Amino acid sequence: MHNQTAPTANVNKTGSSAAMSLFFYLLLLTAFFFLLEISFFIQCNKAYLSDFSFVSSQLQIPLSILPGILYFIFAHLLIHFMFCMIVWGAASSIARFFHAPPHRQIPLGIGIWVIGIVTLLVANQVYFPNSKFAGLTGFILFSPAAASYLLSILSICCLFFIIFAGLGCLHLLYKSWGLWPGAITLCAVIAALGFSFLKPALPVVHDAATRERPNIILVGVDSLRPDFLGFFGHDNRTPFMDAFLNQATVFAEAVTPLARTFPSWAGILTGQYPRQTGIRFNLAQQDKLNFAQALPAILRRNGYETVFATDEVRFSNLDKNFGFNQVITPPMGLNDFLLGTFNDFPLSNLLVNTSLGKWLFPYSYANRAVYFNYEPDSFLHLLDSTLEAHRTKPMMLAVHFCLPHHPYLWASLSGEDYSIRERYQKSIQRVDRQLRDFFTLLKKNHLLDHAIVVLLSDHGEALELAGDRITEKDLFLPARKREAIPRFYPPSLDDEAINQSAGHGTDVLGLPQYHTLLAFRLYGAGDQQKNVVPGAVSLLDIKPTLLALLGITDSAHVPLDNPLSCSSCTSLVSVIKGGGKLPSSRHIFLESDFSPEAIRTVYPETRKVLLEGIQLFQIDPVTTRLTVKASMGQMIIHSKQYADIYGDWMLALYPQHKDLRMPILVNLVNGQWTNDLQSSFARHSPAAMMLRELKAFYGDEISTV
């Protein structure tokens, strides 16, 4: 008996020794690969790492960012270790199934490891073409078709590995427990795996909204200029938005008071201009501001559940201060800039949009700012659980989709294959599908049974197209014959013509930057006019319109001696319900934001924008959020452009040197313009009154004109 068991024991001992040796080799290989990844990452991101060193010297980096960084490092070590374990387990099972001798296990395991690594790299190139590592494999696989073909072959190889590894596990079960216990165990494992993929049937969602107290749903799309929609005549169709607008009251000439996300949304929620809210620029400080009369706060006091969600927060820290019960966003703060930007590794890219990736990489999951691995559906998955919840109150839901923001890219759209304008158009078409799926979620969860839906864009976008600044060369009216056209606008990185501008919030006469989408649609909440309404309106009109539709009185008390107590918004209810008209004479003010040279281009880089304005920012040591210093805020205000739209006229004021501002008067009907307010053209316009209104509203911010 002893002679029979001794060889078996020796074989088992030899096999265990080989398995441990294999694990050690695989661990070394994985560690070496991880170091190579880091080395390649450093080579590709020297500029960012150098920038971080510079930023660290300019800003006081708080220690409170360390937990996030340590968790990020742990997550990467964990997934690489898990990859090593999976390869080791597969190799051991396959060797067991084929009765491979111990000395064959190490070559087998290393071979599987190599095929696994190559599969990861090729899959990263196919699914994440904007990844830095996609550029590495792209030197070998020039064609996307070749990469896809190779990935198919590698996937088949991996599938065979999985099958044989599974058979090896069966073989082990059979040897250890016998036929029937092994079969029962296998069936139990398969059943468990099968049920894990089945979503349990959820109870029917009860919605508390009624016809009198409908859900309020604000749907924002970042950087969307209306003239790129099929509804407004563009050649490329946007089926969902076009269909929505056909059933809505559409205000064709809506504008935002400031074409940047944070000030614009602050205006939407408060019904006040940036000068009134105190949000004059992105990343403005909020600690001393009072938003008790913001729309979410008012609705919350009137029995509504209020929720805000967005897939990007780097420059717009909209949070619970505005009265929201819940905020669904990527984590805010410095680590969003750091860890989101740096999280570009093949293994993490392939995991980031999964349920596991949601927990391992919170700064990347559903974060549009991390465009190279952003998957639009991940943001919808983030919203799904909130929308499925049982509700005892009507809901105010404000959701902002940032896909059409520069660089107009996401995980699967390669930035090298299209021009900047083609990318912008494709991002609009993709967000159209994202909105379609979002409204499917709303309908599934009965949020559209009784609802008022507002579809809007926070601002537009200028792409250096002709007409992106409304000053045409041949329509200039000089004070004297042959007088040169003035260079009233700041220089850009591109060779802009006088009728071109770039970006948003950089130029008040770049009306495509300020022109927004605005449409109201009522679902089971009364009748409405379904038409296109001409005439200028403001995004500030959304709040009073919704309160009027709900019959809720805004009881804000504004001291009469407050110079900013003038009416900044108007209800559009009479127009939506039919029979009413827009005010014929109304002043609508616009202003620009901080616009360093790095942002006045169709190719802005976040890092360059931050570096050029690094002296503006400070970091909150508790929240780690970037905010603009109070002292620097005054400098930004001093550099602002201002404008007034009144009927068919627009008057803009551009800072020149010292305290001097150059006026530009434009007739919005025929396009004629001048910089001479003493000309006959100007004297036959309301320019003098418009200038008085601008000075009265902005006070000492406007000096010599």
- What would the pLDDT profile of 125-135 be if each residue is shown by its tens digit? 999 999 999 98
pLDDT of residue 561: 35
Residues of the chain with CATH 3.40.720.10: 215-330+366-464+501-640
What Rg do the C-alpha atoms of the chain give, in angstroms?
30
**Average pLDDT of span 272-293:** 93
Give the Cα separation of 678 and 520 in Å (integer). Answer: 42
pLDDT higher than threshold 70 for residue 232: yes
pLDDT band of 560, cuts 50, 70, 90: very low
pLDDT of residue 45: 76
- Lowest pLDDT segment from 146-160, 192-206, 576-590, 667-681: 192-206
Using alpha carbons, list the distances in angstroms from residue 476 to 169, 241, 498, 665, 671.
81, 37, 11, 10, 9
Give the Cα separation of 347 and 69 in Å (integer). Answer: 18
- Lowest pLDDT segment from 34-43, 198-207, 233-242: 198-207
**Average pLDDT of span 613-617:** 74
Q: What average pLDDT is seen over the chain?
A: 88
Find the farthest-apart pair of alpha carbons in the chain and give their distance in angstroms, rounded.
Answer: 118
Using alpha carbons, list the distances in angstroms from residue 497 to 10, 473, 494, 589.
83, 9, 9, 25
Query: Domain 215-330+366-464+501-640 is of which CATH architecture?
Result: 3-Layer(aba) Sandwich (3.40)
**% of the chain with per-residue pLDDT over 70:** 86
pLDDT band of 407, cuts 50, 70, 90: very high
pLDDT band of 101, cuts 50, 70, 90: confident
pLDDT band of 605, cuts 50, 70, 90: low
pLDDT higher than threshold 90 for residue 28: yes
pLDDT higher than threshold 60 for residue 112: yes
pLDDT of residue 197: 53
pLDDT of residue 256: 98
pLDDT of residue 88: 94
pLDDT band of 562, cuts 50, 70, 90: very low
- Lowest pLDDT segment from 223-237, 399-413, 602-616: 602-616
Beta carbons within 8 Å of 374's beta carbon, 6+ residues apart: 311, 366, 367, 368, 410, 411
pLDDT band of 595, cuts 50, 70, 90: confident
DSSP string, 74-102: HHHHHHHHHHHHHHHHHHHHHHHHTT--H
**Average pLDDT of span 509-527:** 97
pLDDT band of 313, cuts 50, 70, 90: very high
Give the Cα separation of 173 and 25 in Å (integer). Answer: 27
- Lowest pLDDT segment from 63-67, 72-76, 264-268, 613-617: 613-617
